[in-house]
Amino acid sequence: MAFVADTLTPLVSRTARPVRRQLSASPTALATLALAGAALLWSGNFLAGRLAADILPPATFSAARWLLALALLAPFTFREIAGQRAEILRRWPLWLAAGVLNIAVFTVLIYAGLAHTSLVNGSIIGSAAPIVVGLLGWLILGERTSARSRLALAVSSAGVAFIVLRGDIGTLARLDFHGGDLVLFLGISAFALYAVLLKRFPGGLSAAAALTVSIPFGLTALAPVAAWELATTPLALEMRDLGTAGLLILYVASLPTLGFVLWAKGVSVLGPTRAGQFLQLMPVFGAGLAVGVLGEALHLYHALGFALVLGGLALRDRRLPAPLYNPASRVA
């Protein structure tokens, strides 16, 4: 445990001393591996949500996940949070909004949507997060983008819409949307609003410490919904189901949370623009998990929609803003 603490603490807390470089790989290569690893672990979160759909209701599953994640994160972020408690208390409305949007609304809608759609659809729709963030940044923050960026947004959005409509444009005329896909997209929109909120009101906490602070607010919002689920949904779990549920909760509370830390590390080196591109790996990983683990079938509209998403990614403006952090002086 001491080795784990010494390894992870500099990644999740800005108050910890930087880790001495002992690897010969370049920071860019390490950041690339970190971001790809985060995308893989988050694809596993979608798989776990799909597997848990037949065992636990979404709010209950989400509450169990974040309660355990809080216990895992707190030892690594406690010192940083304690050192900035006055600033945290002063900005409590921000953490309340972050907890409700990210911890409560986003995860519950994701798990609820996955109960009514395929993992492939979920992964592709999940990869639309940077698209929605860009759109909300333009609408809410008035961020200006180049014509090329707007074209990229339009192409990628068309790809996601193609998946949601299942390749049938007549769905718009019939208003015959697939409920699970719409719920997933609403969840992604809640996450995008959370990301724009943090961009509008940036704080001095590391990414993991900010997540830790927002979790209690999210759990407070989740508690009545989870209690209602438990009161109205009979949970006659067999021992096998109970063991499966425990393993799924352990996974989503630990490895996807580690993915969040890896993501923060990658963003500190490559910046948010280039890092956001790695979310487009989620459909690739998600499709592999869906076919290999769940035996789901791939359809032509998946391929066409994914091609449009990748086309939009290729069109994106590759000019980067100034880096948010100095990788030589601190570790995110």
**CA-based torsion, 168, 172, 178, 182: positive or negative:** positive
d(CA 285, CA 159): 17
- pTM to 2 decimals? 0.72
Residue 27 lies in a domain: no
**pLDDT tens for the 332 residues of the chain, in order:** 222 333 333 444 454 444 444 445 678 788 888 888 888 898 888 888 888 888 889 999 999 999 999 999 999 999 999 999 998 999 899 899 999 998 999 999 999 988 887 777 777 777 677 777 777 777 776 766 667 766 766 776 677 667 666 666 655 545 445 677 788 888 888 888 887 887 777 767 887 888 899 999 999 999 999 999 888 877 655 556 778 888 999 999 998 888 877 877 777 777 665 666 677 677 677 777 777 776 767 777 777 877 877 777 677 555 544 444 333 333 33
Where do we find the tokens 């499966």? 244
pLDDT for the residue numbered 83: 92
- Whose tokens are 């940036």? That residue is 202
**Residue at 11 is within a domain:** no
Question: Residue 13 domain-assigned?
Answer: no
Q: What count of Cα atoms within 13 Å lies in the side-chain half-sphere of residue 252? A: 28
Amino acid at 14: R
Residue 320 exposed, middle or buried by CB count within 10 Å (0-12, 13-18, 19+): exposed
Domain annotation covers residue 271: yes
Encoded tokens for 228: 């209602």
For residue 5, the model assigns a pLDDT of 32
DSSP string over 284-297? HHHHHHIIIII-PP
Would residue 321 count as lying in a domain? no
Q: In angstroms, how far apart are the furthest CA atoms of the chain?
A: 60
Give all strands (DSSP E) within 114-182, no chain letters.
none
Q: Is residue 163 domain-resident?
A: yes
Number of domain units in the chain: 1
Looking at residue 15, its pLDDT comes to 47
H or E element that contains 318: none
CA distances from 25 to 32, 226, 268 (A): 11, 45, 16
Q: Which pLDDT score, from 0 to 100, does residue 199 have? A: 73
Determine the pLDDT at residue 188. 84
Within a domain: 242: yes
Q: Which domain covers residue 81, as residue numbers?
A: 34-315
